[in-house]
Amino acid sequence: MRDFAAEGIAVFEGVFAPDEMAALATLLPEEVAGQRGLLRKIPAVRALAGDIRLRNLLVALGSAASQPVRAVFFDKNPARNWKVPWHQDLTIAVRQRHAVPGFGPWSIKDGVPHVQPPAALLDRMVTLRVHLDDCAPENGALRVRPRSHRHGRIAESEMPRWDFAPETTCVVRAGGVVALRPLLLHASSPAQLPRHRRVVHIEYSPDTLPEPLEWFDSEAAGLEIHR
């Protein structure tokens, strides 16, 4: 898809029926702001990640060979309402920490090693955000700066240069999917009218990792990752 390659963002409405999303919501955590490791923890999310409708989106986006490597659940709700500043998604989850050239720095999130890989690997990844609820600007919709992914990693010191760059708010109804590149600058504001804004955020990659590094979630998804 030419626009996605250039913009780094695309919104697809009506990928899933709202009642499918309502059923999925009953299987996801309650009273939490978010949870990592969903490919390992929730079979319904593993099934969602491999759903033919998402596979078809990946084909349309030019990422047919990609497989799911991480899934995260977010729920911005009246009890848990937050702001996310402008940032890029720079880390991946792996099984164990190993010293590999080009990978670092390291961190631990929920007990799982995370590392920043080379920008080229991030540039080939695609994130699909499946919306379980209607998401309008007033309930903390995702905001993005189109084309910013084409600048690679953006240092913290360079962020002020982007303060006046054009931005887009990703308004999407329940059952819609937002596709973005991890290196795209994105943010979200606190909800002005807080209600559930539940999203299953699934990251896909066409790459294996250099040995001995391994994707944390790939085996749990029951899928082999090919180059």
- Per-residue pLDDT tens for 15-36? 999 999 999 999 998 878 889 9
Question: CA separation (Å) from 110 to 28, 34, 35, 41, 72?
Answer: 17, 11, 9, 13, 12
- Using a 10 angstrom Cβ sphere, with 0-12 exposed, 13-18 middle and 19 or more buried, the burial of residue 31 is exposed
| pLDDT averages per 10-residue partition of the chain, 227 residues | 87 97 94 88 95 97 94 85 89 96 96 96 98 91 96 93 95 97 94 82 96 85 44
Q: What is the dihedral of CA 26, 215, 88, 41, to 10 degrees?
A: 10
Domain ranges of the chain: 2-91+126-205
CATH class entry, domain 2-91+126-205: mainly beta
pLDDT of residue 63: 95
For residue 207, count other CB atoms closer than 10 A to its CB.
19
Q: Is 62 left (phi over 0), alpha (psi -120 to 50) or beta?
A: left
Q: What is the pLDDT of residue 88?
A: 97
